[in-house]
Amino acid sequence: MTKASDLPEWKDMPPIEGMPHGTAWGLFDKDGIRDEVGTLNLLTPSVVVAAGKEIQTGKSVVLNWGLEHVAEPGFGRIRLEHKIIDWRKIQDYYSYDDEIKLNPQAGSQWDGLRHFGHTETGLYYNNIHHDDLLQTDRIGIDHWSKRGGIVGRGVLLDYCSWAERHGIEYNAMSRHCITVKDLEAVAKEQGVTFMPGDLLIVRSGWIKWYNEHGQEDRIKYITNGKEYVGVEGSEETVEWLWNHHFSAIAGDAIGFEAWPPKLPRRIHDNISLWGMPIGELWDLEALSGECEAQKRWSFFFTSAPLNLKGGVSSTPNALAVF
């Protein structure tokens, strides 16, 4: 497995013809076999063992947002359909089943490596074109299960709480950008030291806004909305993310990056350039409270994505354990 120490710094990344600087294709390949899981390779056994030391109190927090909240999905995605089957009415025995129709990306989600191709070329992680992708079983979400899921050290940067303490006012339903300078200031105030392979989680306050508003506002600003808070998509941001060698990034906003994104540096392009999973719409409210109560913002993290062959995305099924 590839260790963070095996990777070049941003400025030294080898060029890939026809692709922008910072493309990581080939860096995680091994023995002539093309890699399928990108930056998750940084979750080596030693990284996981070290992450286990974060478990000190046994308290666990669920990071999946309740599926019932996916009632006003954005970007034209379908609403959750949940039907309960009463088998007593069908077979005359006491039993119920669920039937669920769901677009995982309408709620708490992992954007898998099949979700987003490079904006200018249509190429997905490790050089496969959009038109060819579904003719193969490459880079499906099932490869994350084959490697043992996602297990490591999670770090929360609670921008929402930090901004409130410092009198920074903003609307989560606007294109408010969280900059690298902001992230570093939050980390410093929280006493966080990053480690290679960390899963970076950023609380923007998007879910907090949702909880504080009614259906009319939710439809206006989510279903029909066009701007959202998020991490700034910029050359500085992607360089910072790469040089810290995070294994994945996630947040509570509808898109990890401030929406709408702006070229030339979309953070989502790094799904295709690095093979980096991006989590969105995670419920970080209870996590924020627990971090504040324990005065530490790092924890043991687990996620068991759907074992779905060729899948594009997944519910995260994520836990933080303190």
Q: What's the CATH code of the domain at 17?
A: 3.50.30.50
Which residue range forms the structural domain that includes residue 77?
Answer: 4-321
Give the Å distances, CA to CA, from 70 to 25, 97, 112, 189, 204. 35, 21, 19, 34, 19
pLDDT, position 26: 95
Residue 280 CA to residue 140 CA, distance in Å, equals: 18
- Counted domains in the chain: 1
Instruction: Report pLDDT digits (tens) over 206-224.
Output: 999 999 999 899 989 988 8
Mean per-residue pLDDT for 272-300? 97
Instruction: Report pLDDT digits (tens) over 63-107.
Output: 999 988 866 777 888 888 999 999 999 988 899 999 999 898 889
Strand partners, 257: 231
Contacts of 224 (CB under 8 A, 6+ apart): none
